[in-house]
Chains A and B, each alone.
Chain A
Amino acid sequence: MNRRVSLIKNLDWITIMLYAMLVFLGWINIYAAVYNEDHQSIFDATQRYGKQLIWIGAAFFIAIIILTIESKFYSAFAYPTLILMVVLLLAVLVFGVKVNGARSWFQLGTIRFQPAEFAKFATNLAIARYLSQHNFKIHKIKSLFITGLILFTPAVLILMQNDTGSALVYSIFVLVLYREGLSGFVLFLALLAAIFFVLTLIYSSFTVAILIIAIAAVSLKMIGVQVKQIVIAFGILAGSFGTLWLINKGTDLQLENFSLVVIAILLNTIPFLVHIYRQKITKAAMVLLMVIGSLFYTFSVSYIFNKILEPHHQKRINELLGIQSDPYGAGYNVNQSKIAIGSGGFSGKGFLNGTQTKFNFVPEQSTDFIFCTVGEEWGFLGSGVVLLLLLGLILRLLFLAERQRSSFSRIYGYGVAAILFFHIAINVGMTIGLAPVIGIPLPFFSYGGSSLWSFTILLFIFLRLDANRLELLR
């Protein structure tokens, strides 16, 4: 009895309240999204809202089970759970059924089940377990390798199911790693990579190359290289480039300007390095290395984008970046979604009064684009409240994570917050045209048993760990 009382007392009821509110709002909005005059009862189990209510009931039941399990169990069984999930992910590749082009579902009678959803908490458990080991040092090659193995195994398997969205979720663990000591430089590099990626696609590789060289010049000045030397170095570069350009014009090589820049730099690399060695300005070598690395990256981006990505992915990215506009083709969903949300105005059209969402203008109304219904019927106020509730939840989770004595619990908590954040950022960002259209659900809102249950499990394991925070120290 005592144990149960202390469990209830130690549970973080704020999080549970936020969870319950979000689930409730999700259900209400699913009702509005697929509202059906013939089936007006929100409890009608033949409709999605009726079904969602069943999923919600089951989710509460799951939550209670999770809370009654001893918290040691979760760390003890972290690896077996992951292995089980990997087996399921492998099995779904063989026995799964295809839905919307992704082979990621098991079909049992009328019920479908998506193992990718459940792989998230399993991976999170395993990461927490591994990172919390005493001998774990993040910058050791072996540690990085095993961390990578834990993250990439499920991600690659999910990618093989053709479910890109769910696979990309694993990239967000970089935040968890950062919290556990990964160099901030990695985050910075990731940010820079993203910026160069966008710039390469919007402008040309050549423009980005010029930008990289300009940044290099500023960096050289900042590390204390004399202006005169910088000018001479860039003069040499410009001269080489000019010569190459003339040769290119005069002959039949037809190289792109970007290639000319790369060749110019590579030709001068050895003389520059010799000069750097003589002048003992080793930091400049780093800059040179960075320049070459960035150029290589820029080249890869345009190569990968044009040669490796599939046309529909290219289109979605082009649409997002405004390179191509095709409001009735690739951009249809996003355009209609923006119209629906935009037409909501300040306070919305009112519950069940949305016209855009009702006309089925926006596809995937109750699943991936559920935020449209919120935006249209509840306006800026409603969508703002929902966003703030979601932000409140993930910030609360950060707070809870930081108060853990056990690093296993803390890392797991960060994982939960990061996964939720990624879903929110991509899902909401997609509905308002700030992120590419990647089909991943909005936590607690989107219709579907698998996703609701997986987020519930993810969250409540953490709440269980949190309830035990005072008892054990691992």
Chain B
Amino acid sequence: MTETVWTSSGTTAHEPKFGDYVELLKPRVMRLVIFTALVGLLAAPVGTHPVIALASILCVAVGAGASGALNMWSDWDIDAVMDRTSRRPIPSGRVERGEALAIGVTLAVFSVVMLALFSNMVAAGLLAFTIFFYAVIYSLWLKRATPQNIVIGGAAGAFPPMIGWAIATGGVSVESVLMFALIFLWTPPHFWALALFRNSDYIRAGVPMLPVTAGTRVTRNQILIYTLLLVPVAVAPAFSGIGGPVYLAGALVLNAMFLAGGLRVWRRNDGDAAADGYRVEKRFFGFSILYLFLHFVLILAEALCRLADLSPAGWPRPF
């Protein structure tokens, strides 16, 4: 797979460690994917054998890793000029581009086939579509083409709980669509907050992020618009099969805080942001990660309540 080049200094060029390959799979993204897929699986009304559940979730994780490797293969030139990504395995010279492509394609095929064998065709089909959407539609096309890149590309990150639900139930339902919508609408405010304080990175790399193409004022407006759209969607699962009073209470608090953060970001301008080193934007970005994580913790808490028979029988569930 690799060719060793001995140099005059006695060191070698390009001889990756196993950890370099692991890094290619974006383990941090993988963790979030595993968590949301697992919550989707556990929130489903149908039980799954623990061994099947473990094997299936691992397939989803490997599929996410394959997407990460394919993303690093396609974005090598962007990654090289951005501070945040310049130490990734390809731009730092630890892994060759061709290797990333080979690993990405192999793991993508392997994860989809194994998921079809371990669970069902619906889950495998959703995983295949997710990998295709992230690697081809987002990474190869949208990211370099439109400032709406992360709005549409956000769908790729929103599929894992839907896949988890499909592993357990073999289908798609209102509950899994609501979990999808939660991540889908959360993505734009999350990434645009990051883009506000990483603007120079994106300008240097020539990526048409919204602050680059439309300016920071429009970006702040869009962050608020998407936050307003997100709030009702994030509260709605409380009145579905995966929600309940615990979810409602938690979601109300989290969404009030998120909305307040969105308003603070919206009220500011570049002068305010530069004066305090984008403190509010960075705080909003950091809280957005906790916000999403806690919503899925709440869904998990509701699943445990149902398991322990603690869910109120008369709870309204119009969805």
Partners in one complex: no
Q: Chain A interface (Cβ within 8 Å of chain B)?
A: none
